[in-house]
Amino acid sequence: MTPPAPRKRVMLVHALRESLAPIHAAFAAAWPEAETHDLLDSSLSADHAASAGRLDRKMTERFRALGRYAAATGPEGRGSDAILFTCSAFGPAIEAVRRDQAVPVLKPNEAAFAEALRHGPRIGLLCTFAPTRAPAVAELEAMAAARGITPVIEARVVEGALAALQAGRGEEHDALSAAAAAGLPPVDAVVIAQFSMARAAPAVRVRLGVPVLTTPDSAVAALRAILG
């Protein structure tokens, strides 16, 4: 009798502990058969914020080290099948990991951005961690240019929402996010551009009449398509 094929093993790398629950919920809903494991280094987000959002060589090397560790985890003779980073503020560092590794390495926003661009060029972005804004906009602009699209990006940092979430005031986080979304000009789609914000999606959808995409849901769908 042929033994069953091993479950696909995905390593999840986090810089905010608030990102864990949303991505596990997304896997449970859309791909429960996957085997997922977590690497959390909350000093990444703290150090990045303290450096005013600059990604220096040392930070990139920290990500490359995390990538090497994540790729090598697993039982004898087997490593990970893919690595998903859930930290949206570190795109260039994650690209360095991708260049290092043979397994698929996904940035947190890329699947949601690709999906959003299929709805049209006018994209709203919501984030709560200020250093996320600039790299997310740059990543979306690059993806749009590669598709021959001239995007109109409306990016907002939802002030006070992350602090509310970290203090256990989830409903306040969601309400602030929904209010920020309601203040956007007309767009074709909205991307909630942090895994830690995914819980706000229902509140945001109530306020808008356009597709509202979360990065965890889009990332899981993309990984399942890649790994099968």
Q: What is the CA radius of gyration of the chain?
A: 17
> Residue range 134-146: average pLDDT?
96
pLDDT digits (tens, 9 = 90+) for 186-202: 999 999 999 999 999 99
Assess whether pLDDT exceeds 80 at residue 50. Answer: yes
Architecture of the 110-215 domain: 3-Layer(aba) Sandwich (3.40)
The fold adopted by the segment(s) 9-108+217-227 is Rossmann fold (3.40.50)
Q: Is 99 helix (H, G, I), strand (E, B) or coil?
A: helix
Residues forming beta bridges with residue 123, ordered by sequence position = 153, 189
Count of CB atoms situated within 10 Å of the CB of 146: 9
Opening angle at CA 132, ends 111 and 46, nearest 5: 125
Distance CA 103, CA 222 (A): 14
Residues of the chain with CATH 3.40.50.1860: 9-108+217-227, 110-215
Assess whether pLDDT exceeds 90 at residue 1. Answer: no
Q: Enter the pTM of the model.
A: 0.91
Count of CB atoms situated within 10 Å of the CB of 45: 23
Return the pLDDT at 2. 63
pLDDT digits (tens, 9 = 90+) for 57-84: 999 999 999 999 999 998 777 899 999 9
